[in-house]
Amino acid sequence: MSKLKFGAFIAPVHKPGINPTAAIEADLQLVEHLDRLGYDEAWIGEHHSAGSEIIGSPELFIAAAAARTSSIKLGTGVTSVVYHNPLWVADRLVQLDHMTRGRVMLGVGPGSLPTDSAMIGLNPVQTREMLEPNLDIILRLLAGETVTATTPTHQLNDARLQLRPYSDPLFGICVAAVASPTGARLAGKYGLGLLSIGATLTADGFNALAHHWQVVAERAAAFGQPVDRSGWRLVGPFHIAETVEQAYKDVEYGIEHWFDYFQHVAAFPQMAVSGGNLKEMIDFINTSGIGVIGTADQARQQVQRLVDQSGGFGSMLLMAHDWADTDATKKSYEIFMREVVPHFQNQSESTLLAAELARQSREGHAAAQLNAVAHMTDKYAAEKNATN
């Protein structure tokens, strides 16, 4: 299997009523923590309503996070492009590409919360229909074209970017997909990456994964675009601890709000979850196949199931959440990096083999060590006798 990359998808989902300044700071500190641990990337969401997903500008967040980190790549997860003038979307990402020295990525989508789009007079059908023409303009601008175009919300006259990207030739671009084929068909048509958000949370379970890539491959073939599974990112929830019991205890802190948000607040039925009490919620995560609350071994099995069911992908993104408190959450990411990631990056086999070979030959080598000590002891005794 090809080497998997790992990262986090940070919507984020915070409990309403807590200090928003502290919550955003905690998100920034989480990205710093991921950078120190060696995670490959972090994606930051854009939302404007419903009180929990409180980052309105992933670009502003990325600019701050970039100054605090050194190697982790930072993506908009996603920019709701139909809310913005496509010229300014492209312009801001090129600026970030320079400010991050090539560590930025652009994720695009129609916007997931109807309460967001309703405030600017758009409905979910319109946002999905408008995604393609806006994305087309963005890609043309990034390619260096001069664009004159009219969208339902904006007029562009001889629009062009005054800066070229820092990345050569361009930073990575992904299209988001949840349940509908909208994102997958655009990823295939334009030869872009695919960001499967909550694919394991849909009613069809893992089947959504295979469907996503099938659509990408079909559209890519129709438009003669090269696509590769290495550009496919999957998002799923995890919380792991040293023991199952500890993991269960950890998530008592905040998992009920997470469930309440998707069950009763966010008008986002594609992210369907069920459970009326703490036990049912934990059982739902573990038995439905959408994620893991447990140990590193269970997390490894989950990632492998995703690999097998999907046919292969490029990156596994851990869905950020406040199921546990800050210390337990950071510990979960640490355990995941230490005990799960090496199994999917061709890093565990060599050390396991070295340990097994040493185990098999230990008796003989130990005897040789004792013989060497005896030899040098006898040699020293002979030298001492010779000088007396």
Kindly list the domain boundaries of the chain, sorted by start residue. 5-346, 349-388
What are 102's two structure tokens? 């090539």
Q: What is the pLDDT of residue 207?
A: 61
Decide: 176 and 78 in contact? Cβ < 8 Å: yes
Instruction: Answer whether 0.75 is exceeded by the pTM.
Output: yes
Q: What is the pLDDT of residue 199?
A: 67
Measure the CA angle with vertex 194, ends 189 and 195; round to 5°.
150
Q: What is the signed CA dihedral for 318, 321, 326, 328, rounded to 10 degrees?
A: -60
Closest CA to 323 of 241, 255, 247: 255
Q: What is the signed CA dihedral for 368, 373, 374, 376, rounded to 10 degrees?
A: 120
For the ranges 96-110, 209-223, 304-318, the one whose mean pLDDT is highest: 96-110
What residues contact 15, with CB distance under 8 A and at least 6 apart?
A: 52, 254, 257, 322
What are 360's two structure tokens? 């098999």
Q: What is the pLDDT of residue 274?
A: 87
Which amino acid, one-letter code, is at 136? Answer: D
Class of domain 5-346 (CATH, top level): alpha beta
Other beta carbons within 10 angstroms of residue 6's beta carbon come to 22
Mean local confidence (pLDDT), 30-55? 98
| Confidence label for 387 from pLDDT (cuts 50, 70 and 90) | confident
Q: What is the pLDDT of residues 290-309, one digit of tens each?
A: 999 999 999 999 999 999 98
Rg (CA), the chain: 25
**Burial class of residue 288 (count of CB atoms within 10 Å of its CB; 0-12, 13-18, 19+):** middle
Q: What is the pLDDT of residues 341-386, one digit of tens each?
A: 999 998 888 888 899 999 999 999 999 999 999 999 999 899 989 8
Q: What is the pLDDT of residues 260-300, one digit of tens each?
A: 999 999 877 767 788 999 999 999 999 988 999 999 999 99
299-311 burial, b at 16+ Cβ within 10 Å, e below that, comes to bbebbeebbebbe
